[in-house]
Amino acid sequence: MRKSVLAAAMAALVMAPVSGAEASKRFQASITRTTFGIPHIKAADWRGVGYGVAYAYAEDNLCMLAEEFATVAGERSKHFGPKGTATLGFDQVDNLSSDVFFRGVIDIEALRASARQQSPRMQQLVEGYVAGYNRFLKDAGPDGIPADCRGKAWVRAITADDMLRLNEKQMLLASSLALAPAIANAAPPGSPAPKVAINFPDPAELGIGSNGWAFGGDVTTGGRGMVIGNPHFPWKGPSRFWQMHVTGPGGYDVMGVGIAGTPIPTLGFNKDVAWTHTVTEARHFTLFQMALDPADPTRYMVDGTSEAMTPLTVTVPMPEGEAPVTRTLYTTRFGPVFVVPARGIAWSAQTAFVLKDANRGNQRGIETWLRIGEAKNVGEVKAAVSETLGIPWVNTIAADRFGDALHADVTAVPNVSAEKAKTCATPIAGLFAEFAILLDGSKAACDWDVAAGTPAPGLMPASDQAATITKSWLTNSNDSYWISNPAMPHGRLSPILGKYAMPLSLRTRSNFTETPALLAGGKIDHARAESLAFGNKSLAGDMVVAPLLELCTVGEAKEEKVARGCAALGGWDRRYEASSRGAALFRAFWPKVARLPGLWAVPFDAADPVNTPRDIATDKVGDKMLLALGEAVGDLDKAGIAIDAPWGDVQRVVVGNDAIPIHGGPGGLGVLNVQEALADAAGLTPRHGSSYIQIVGFDAKGPVADAILSYAQSTDPASPHFADQTREYAAKRWNRLPFRPKDIKAAAIGKTKRIAE
């Protein structure tokens, strides 16, 4: 009893105002930085939490966040020119299309109305965030703004509207944003063709990727739960993670990460629970094919009755001296019209295509993450995601100190059953199947079903989605709910939740191979978990290189480029370590052969999805493989990359005069520790991949967490935390995160900053 009273007294002291003079302040928080610049924000109320988080985030990433506010306000063309590009979701979009989308599709009046219905604490978080961001601008002054955005007109004070728009963007990252140019450039028949390229998104690129593991007490050394989180997110832009530790009202005490504008951790741990997220295969929108009124292509037929589309004229300001650009967008009862001319998706006199998004207007996410942060066990995590349906597009993978593990593929997803998807399909629905479910918009009955008790009409109830709790282990590498552990496959659910009994990705198969192999050698602890998180083995390399080398002894292998390629792959360790030689060549080779018809001698078998398909059919594709190897050698020669160069000499991050070698490789090669890179003058520079990697277990006192943020906390080159963790990631070193007050005090760098107003 005495210990609990003492702990409560100490907590009260920690949360107390810093002085009597500040007792009347509306906003106040303290910020203590520890190793690598990680901020520990303390506040007595939710306004203070938002206030402190925003201030600390702006200290590290002001220019990036200020640019993001310009993006969601539809002001990119004005400040950066209409032909420049914006980062929307996980892709680049021309600024004009971005501006039209945000000015036309984001309904600020509806967002304001919805915000007023949210919990008081969510409203207070937003209020505090606005105040904290603006306070930083005031404190920094014109000369204190980072060099990259100093003196720029787009660095300005923000309002709650900016936060509402930014939250909406984040909810739509893996859905509507992927079709932003297609929506922004849709126009009735007879209009000029779009002047920008519009692509139909690759489903594999909608959410990039991630790995997450939850281990229950049956397989951990201490009998408590453990989580490995390894989300694969962009290295640049507003979807970068940022570490924080927030101590707030009511015992809220959570450490983890969020992306730009997030006022609390959305991935991390508290004293009882740890969790991570992976992008789900579920689709969070559907498409509708509209039958148009023969008399007017801006009207459409539903159950034989003509309805008018709703026009919205959007005006986008241009750089000074240039006339604004005006566009008119059209929307239906289901959603906005879109076009992708290159794929034959056009707005004709007979047909138009529209998109309906389950995450449009979803402001429930922050409340969901608040509840997860308050959870005392994985059952409460499951309840949070199930009752709010606020998680937009990610799986939730969690474990608690009591030894339970959870995988919940429960999100804001359209309530479309397998039967509805079948009966409401149009004759061309199959052409869209890989991307989305296409429904018949001419029938009102083909709209999403409304289930009782969901927080928004048309959402699929959590009871119809997938969630599993076990004392064993569960994992996800972006394949569907079907298998989280090969020993316990899930039953079939609606196709909108993902593929069932279909081939798994090589990365998922690698996960389902490496995880049991690790556990076969003994129960998991931090050290063994860290080796799994940094698994750089290529499953494709293990499956392909040996039979390829056998081919190298005959026939076409005498061709000079092929012979060189054979020699290089013969010396490759089948891994993507910085020291691996030949890795760059296999990276160039595998995409050329991965989809060859007849590649595998043993086809996929749903009864053995981890081990099939397998065995290269060299008698059928051998010549093509050798030809592809020669082409890959030629590609590297042309790029000036030695085919046997150490991988770390090829994939690297250049910081000043320092080239930091980066381990990890493409997920499509069956590499768990994903790093997808783009070619540039430095060789290959990571574009997205392993970002915030955390290993969280528990002891009798609470969480024990090791983590590293591969691209570090700050986007400001002048910051000491611009690349410090990148060097640690390169060296495979981890940071034991300070969570308890005494550990924070021991790891503190500089003095605690106290802000109030």
- Residue 291 CB contacts under 8 Å (≥ 6 apart), including other chains: 300, 301, 350, 351, 441, 442
Residue 325, CB half-sphere, CA atoms under 13 Å: how many? 23
* Whole-number percent of the chain with pLDDT over 70: 95
pLDDT at 572: 98
Q: Is residue 236 part of a domain?
A: no
Is the same domain home to 52 and 178?
Answer: yes
Task: Note down the domain range covering 584.
Answer: 539-671
33 and 182 part of one domain: yes
Query: Rounded distance, CA 393 to CA 280, Å?
Result: 6
**Is the pLDDT confidence value at 231 over 70?**
yes
Q: How confident is the model at residue 730 (pLDDT cuts 50, 70, 90)?
A: very high
- Which amino acid makes up residue 340? V
State the Cα–Cα distance between residues 502 and 426, nearest whole angstrom.
Answer: 23
Residue 366 lies in a domain: no
Joined together, the tokens standing for residue 555 give 């026939």
- Domain containing residue 296: CATH number: 2.30.120.10
Per-residue b or e along 582-607, where b marks 16 or more CB atoms closer than 10 Å to that residue's CB = bbbbbbbbbebbeeeeebbeeeeeee
Q: What is the pLDDT of residue 207?
A: 45
Half-sphere exposure of 417 (CA within 13 A, CB side): 10
Q: What is the pLDDT of residue 201?
A: 67
Compute the average pLDDT of residues 506-535. 96
631 assigned to some structural domain: yes
- Residue 22's pLDDT is 57
Q: What is the pTM of this model?
A: 0.94
CATH code at 614? 1.10.1400.10
Supply the pLDDT for residue 5: 35
pLDDT in tens, 442-479: 999 999 999 999 999 999 999 999 999 999 999 999 99
- pLDDT at position 78 is 98
Instruction: Categorize the per-residue pLDDT at 3 as very low, low, confident or very high, splitting at 50, 70 and 90.
Output: very low
- The helix, strand and coil proportions of the chain, stated in percent and rounded to the nearest 5, come to 35, 25, 40
Burial class (CB in 10 A: 0-12, 13-18, 19+), 328: middle
C-beta separation of 432 from 286 below 8 A: no
287, with CB counted inside 10 A (0-12, 13-18, 19+), is buried
Taken in order 376, 380, 381, 385, is the CA torsion positive or negative? negative
Q: Average the pLDDT over 519-531 and give the result.
A: 97
Active-site pick, 210, 477, 480, 505: 210
Domain boundary pick from 137, 165, 188: 188
Q: Are the C-beta atoms of 233 and 240 separated by less than 8 Å?
A: yes
Strand partners, 685: 678
How far apart CA 518 and CA 226 sit, in angstroms, is 15
Mean pLDDT, the chain, as a whole number?
Answer: 94
Q: Is 288 helix (H, G, I), strand (E, B) or coil?
A: strand
Give DSSP secondary structure letters for 548-603. HHHHTTSGGGGSHHHHHHHHHHHT--SB--TT-BSHHHHHHHHHHHTT-TT-EEE-
Give 554's pLDDT tier (boundaries 50, 70, 90). Answer: confident
Could you say which DSSP state residue 450 is in?
P
**pLDDT at 502 exceeding the cut of 90:** yes
How many domains does one find in the chain? Answer: 3
Instruction: Tell me, rounded to whole angstroms, the distance of Cα 532 from its chain centroid.
Output: 21
Pair (543, 654) in one structural domain: yes
Q: Give pLDDT, residue 192.
A: 86
143: phi then psi, degrees, rounded to nearest 5: -80, -15
Q: Return the beta strands (E) in 604-691 as ranges.
A: 614-616, 652-655, 658-661, 675-680, 683-690
Residue type for 285, please? Answer: F
DSSP state of 192: P
> Cα separation of 634 and 271, whole Å?
54
pLDDT of residue 681: 80
Does 636 reside within a domain?
yes
500 band by pLDDT with thresholds 50, 70 and 90:
very high
Q: Are 31 and 177 within one domain?
A: yes
Strands 394-400 and 405-409: antiparallel
Same domain, 428 and 574: no
Whether the Cβ atoms of residue 307 and residue 300 lie closer than 8 Å to each other: yes
- DSSP, res 45: S
Please name the residue ranges forming H helices in 32-94.
46-72, 76-80
Query: When comparing pLDDT for 555 and 341, which is higher?
Result: 341
* Domain boundary residue, one of 613, 641, 671: 671
pLDDT digits (tens, 9 = 90+) for 647-702: 999 999 999 999 999 999 999 999 999 999 999 887 899 999 999 999 999 999 99
Which of helix, strand or coil describes residue 415? coil
Question: Taking 80 as the threshold, does the pLDDT of residue 89 lie above it?
Answer: no
One domain, residues 427 and 322: yes
Output phi, psi for 39, to 5 deg: -85, 140
99 vs 237, more confident = 99
pLDDT (average), residues 2-11: 35
- State how far the Cα of 296 lies from the Cα of 437, in Å rounded to an integer: 27
Measured over all CA atoms, what is the biggest interatomic distance in the chain, rounded to whole angstroms?
A: 86
Q: What is the pLDDT of residues 354-373, one digit of tens each?
A: 999 999 999 999 999 999 99
Give residue for tokens 């702006």.
58
Q: Residue 590: inside a domain, yes or no?
A: yes
Ranges assigned E (strand) in 219-350: 226-234, 242-247, 253-258, 267-269, 273-279, 285-293, 296-302, 305-308, 310-316, 325-331, 337-338
- Considering the domain architecture, whether residues 438 and 544 belong to the same structural domain is answered as no
CB atoms within 10 A of CB 157: 12
For residue 268, the cross-strand partners are 256, 275
Question: Which distant-in-sequence residues (6+ apart) come within 8 Å of 562 by Cβ?
Answer: 552, 556, 626, 627, 629, 630, 633
Is residue 329 within 8 Å of residue 312, measured between CB atoms?
Answer: yes
Work out the number of other CB atoms within 10 angstroms of the CB of residue 249. Answer: 15
Domain C-terminal end among 165, 188, 211: 188
Asked if omega into 613 is within 30° of 0 (cis), the reply is: yes
d(CA 697, CA 229) in angstroms, rounded, equals 12
Residues 673, 535 contacting (CB under 8 angstroms): yes
Question: Measuring CA to CA, which residue among 190, 189, 196 is closest to residue 101?
Answer: 196
- Tell me if 597 is assigned to some domain: yes
CA dist 208 to 89, 150, 204, 278, Å?
10, 32, 7, 9
Q: What is the pLDDT of residue 13?
A: 32
Pick the closest to residue 413 from 491, 508, 493, 479 (CA basis): 493
Q: Each residue of 258-300: pLDDT tens digit?
A: 999 999 999 999 999 999 999 999 999 999 999 999 999 999 9
pLDDT confidence band for 434 (50 / 70 / 90): confident
CATH number at residue 135: 1.10.439.10
What is the 8-class DSSP label of residue 36? G
pLDDT per position as a tens digit, 17-57: 444 555 678 999 999 999 999 999 999 999 999 999 999 99
- Per cent of the chain over pLDDT 90 is 89
In a domain, 619, yes or no: yes
Regarding whether 661 and 552 lie in a shared domain, the answer is: yes
Asked whether residue 14 carries a pLDDT value surpassing 70, the answer given is no
Q: What SS3 state is found at 130? A: helix
CA–CA separation, 307 and 220 (whole Å): 60
Residue that has been written with the tokens 């003079």 in this structure: 21
- Name residue 234's beta-bridge partners: 688
Q: In the prediction, which pLDDT does 575 show?
A: 98
Give yes or no: 348 in active site: no
Are 40 and 145 in the same domain? Answer: yes
Q: Is the pLDDT at 560 greater than 60, yes or no? A: yes
Task: Specify the residue for token string 């920690």.
Answer: 14
How confident is residue 558, by pLDDT bands cut at 50, 70 and 90? low
Whether residues 169 and 292 fall in one domain: no
- Residue type for position 705: A
Inside any domain, residue 15: no
Mark whether 156 and 293 lie in a shared domain. no
My answer on whether 39 and 173 are in the same domain is yes
DSSP secondary structure string for all residues of 151-180: T-TT-----HHHHHHHHHHHHTTTTGGGGH
Is the pLDDT at 142 greater than 70? The verdict is: yes
**How confident is the model at residue 15, as a pLDDT?**
37
